[in-house]
Chains A and B, each alone.
Chain A
Amino acid sequence: MTTLTGGATEATLEVDDLLEATEWVALPAPHSSARHRLDWRELASTVAPPLIAVALALVAWEAWVQLRDVKEYLVPAPSAVARALGDDPSRFVRAGRVTFGHALGGLALGSGAAFILAVAMAHSRLLERAIYPLAILVKVTPVVAVAPLLIIWFGFGTAPKVLVAALITFFPMLVNAVTGLRSVDPAAHDFLRALDASRLQVLWKLRLPASLPYVLAALRISVPLSLIGAVVAEWMSGDDGVGQVILIAHGEFDTPVLFGSIVVLAVLGVTMTAVLAYIEGRVLHWHESSIGA
């Protein structure tokens, strides 16, 4: 049993950090006022430093490549990467869109299935004991090993990529959601029970909202994982997506295109994470993690 819970702890570590008891603070005004007002100076002070840092790094990189005359197939200059992206932008946009679809589809399928299973497991210790070992098995098996099998079974096209992405995002959601659905305030639970609330009412009014911080933490782990899953499957089948672009560029020693693919994936990852952070801010305004944020 220890090995099973060991796997569980790892995935919920971030959540525990996040839930570490912060002092409840008394605020002068109810949360609705002044919360969503945009502060331009604050925005500039958070956005400007990383932008400047990235710009400086790019300039230094460009200068290093130009001055030392580094071979392009080893390390291309940022200008060469930009040229590769600019030469055929539609190729990268198309590939990026396909990979985004695979990743998002896998994320939705994997997390969705895991969450539904978590709801069942949170209500039944027997089911939990039956399913956890299988879930651990899925978790510890490297997804790279499973991907070729899925391609044999499901052929080329969308299905195997979505499935690989789903497989890799399944476990974090399962573990976090079970923990979240179980982490109800006993006093609140007592109050609902004292009013004869049904299990469905307890689930809907108490367990689901209480699990949201855990679910969103799981998604934060899963977003980059879903991209990994999608790209790995695209590599293997080599028929579309950024994975295919990488595969071809690798064969041709076309390093600027390789870098271009990395840029596309980074943009996808950053965008998905930013959207998630925005959702988190809207949904979890009541949670400790958003105090002072």
Chain B
Amino acid sequence: MTSTSGMVSASTPAIEVFDVAHRYEADAGPVDALERTSMAVADGEFVSLVGPSGCGKTTLLRAVAGLLEPSAGHIEVLGARPREAKAQRRTGLVTQDPGLLPWRSVEGNVRLALELTGRHIDIDALLARVGIERFAAYYPRELSGGMRQRVALARALAHGPRLLLMDEPFGALDELSREQLRLELLRLWERERISVLFVTHSIREAVLLSDRVLVMSRAPGRIVADVAIDLPRPRAASMERLPAFLEHVDVIRSALGAPLAIGTAS
């Protein structure tokens, strides 16, 4: 693997995780967050990671983002080590807390990504892509949670990443905003087909958005099911009532060890 070449062919997987495990050193003693896990995300694929709270989903995502060094195993991001991929600015990160800078306007927050990566793009066009062009001059505190999350998405896309890492991006939103942003992300992704690793608590959200859903067990986490979602694209919210959709939801729920409850799953 010529990981330093920087050349990425279209068939290079976006993410490859080989036998990665991680143990945190806490005050009360070591905590196993992740148990020997392997997975992959193909180029242009939308993959969700679902699992109970504290199962190591975020740990795995942070390892892929190059924000933490796993205790064991090997990760390739776009054919390079996570730290190299990070240094080459090939990934974008969106977290549950949008982490916007309160002293910068929407436009200024998006510009931050360009300042750090030294790129130049039409910020107005980018804001229009996520539907916030009218709010360029607003400050984060003047925006709703949903709007702030759109800003975070625009900021993560600003430098043109090949891979988007999303850690429960809609987790703190109210149900209505959440549904709306889910559909907007769906439309954005179906237009642009950028590779996505999407961590979520919501099974329906995972099924609606993803090509594949990886199910993780309770801590220490490992992947217990890999469910291909064969629903046609473009997808729509109305698909949530299709028997095929509900079947996927049930498969994932049972993999999680949760009781079956058709129709009420979320």
Question: Chain A: residues with CB nearer than 8 A to chain B?
Answer: 24-27, 30-32, 185-197, 201, 205-206, 209, 212, 286-288, 291
Contacts and interface: CB of A to CB of B under 8 A. Distances in A.
Given A196-B86, A205-B112, A25 B141 contact: yes
A287 B159 CA distance: 28
B247 interface: no
Contacts of A32: 137
Contacts of B102: 286-287
A208 to B, nearest CB: 10
B99 A194 contact: no
User: Chain B: interface residue count, which band?
Assistant: 35 or more
Interface of B: 65-67, 86-87, 89, 91-93, 95-105, 112-113, 115-117, 135, 137-144, 152, 155-156, 159, 165
Given A196-B86, A196-B89, A201-B116, A190 B99 contact: yes
Contacts of B105: 30
A209 B102 CA distance: 9
B67 A193 contact: yes
Closest 8 CB pairs of A and B: A187-B99, A188-B99, A187-B97, A194-B93, A286-B103, A30-B137, A195-B116, A27-B142
Contacts of A26: 142-144
7 contacts: A26-B142, A26-B143, A185-B97, A185-B101, A192-B116, A194-B66, A205-B101
B143 A31 contact: no
B141 A194 contact: no
Contacts of A197: 116
A185 B93 CA distance: 15
B139 A191 contact: no
B101 A209 contact: yes
A250 B81 CA distance: 75
A30 B135 CA distance: 8
* Among B86, B96, B138, B141: residue with most chain A CB under 10 A: B141
B101 A30 contact: no
A185 B95 CA distance: 12
Contacts of A192: 112, 116
Contacts of B86: 193-196
* Among A32, A187, A291: residue with most chain B CB under 10 A: A187
Given A26-B142, A190-B65, A190-B99, 19 more contacts: A30-B137, A30-B139, A185-B99, A187-B96, A187-B99, A188-B101, A189-B99, A190-B95, A191-B152, A193-B86, A194-B66, A194-B67, A195-B86, A195-B113, A195-B116, A195-B117, A195-B159, A201-B116, A205-B116
Contacts of B143: 26
A194 B137 contact: no
Given A191-B99, A194-B67, A195-B116, A30 B93 contact: no
Given A190-B67, A194-B93, A195-B117, A209 B98 contact: no
A287 B98 CA distance: 17
* Among A195, A196, A201: residue with most chain B CB under 10 A: A195
